[in-house]
């Protein structure tokens, strides 16, 4: 892995310089928000943006891997979805991450009941005689577990990258 080749040069560089860094940024924000008693809607939107960046970039590592390996493995572009699906099925946490990401960006899970993106956020309406307050919260224990597990997978892979681990 080399800075000279740039973060978009290989799946390992992308993982190290983009995906894991996006995760560190997201987890850092989550930790700082947990220390606060409350935060506003803008902070929640910022957290959602970092969450989506972290998820998308972890999911994208496999695209880089596919294109790096396709010639040596005899794959062609028309096999991309099949190969990536096999890799995700081999590593269930990557499959779960993909499904969660699809729920956020495509508004439904492929293998689950229809779930629209707004189902992944909780809306809390507080009404008092003084003021009305609407809070949108993106906290989800299950989402956080999936993201954390996917991060752990990629972090461990990054410490000792072995492409055989990713081959379907």
Of the candidates 82, 83, 86, 25, the one whose C-alpha atom is nearest the C-alpha of residue 55 is 25
Predicted confidence (pLDDT) at residue 122 exceeds the cutoff of 70: no
C-alpha–C-alpha distance, residues 45 and 20, integer Å: 21
For the chain, the maximum distance between any two Cα atoms, rounded to a whole number of angstroms, is 68
C-alpha–C-alpha distance, residues 19 and 100, integer Å: 16
Q: Return the percentage of the chain with pLDDT > 70, whole number.
A: 74
What does the pLDDT read at residue 137?
54
**Predicted TM-score of the model (pTM):** 0.77
DSSP 8-state symbol, 15: I
- H helical segments located in 36-129: 41-73, 80-90, 92-106
For 104-117, what is each residue's pLDDT tens digit?
876 544 455 554 45
Predicted confidence (pLDDT) at residue 41 exceeds the cutoff of 80: no
């Amino acid at each position: 892995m080399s800075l000279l080749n740039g973060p978009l040069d290989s799946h390992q560089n992308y993982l190290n310089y983009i995906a894991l860094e996006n995760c560190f940024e997201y987890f850092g924000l989550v930790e700082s928000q947990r220390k606060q008693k409350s935060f506003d809607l803008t902070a929640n939107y910022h957290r959602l943006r970092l969450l989506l960046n972290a998820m998308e970039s972890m999911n994208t590592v496999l695209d880089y891997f596919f294109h790096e390996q396709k010639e040596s493995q005899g794959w062609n572009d028309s096999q991309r979805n099949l190969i990536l699906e096999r890799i995700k099925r081999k590593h269930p946490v990557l499959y779960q991450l993909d499904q969660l990401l699809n729920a956020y960006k495509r508004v439904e899970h492929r293998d689950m009941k229809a779930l629209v993106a707004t189902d992944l956020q909780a809306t809390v309406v507080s009404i008092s005689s003084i003021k009305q307050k609407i809070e949108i919260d993106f906290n989800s224990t299950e989402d956080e577990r999936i993201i954390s597990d996917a991060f752990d997978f990629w972090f461990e892979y990054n410490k000792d990258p072995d492409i055989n681990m990713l081959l379907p």
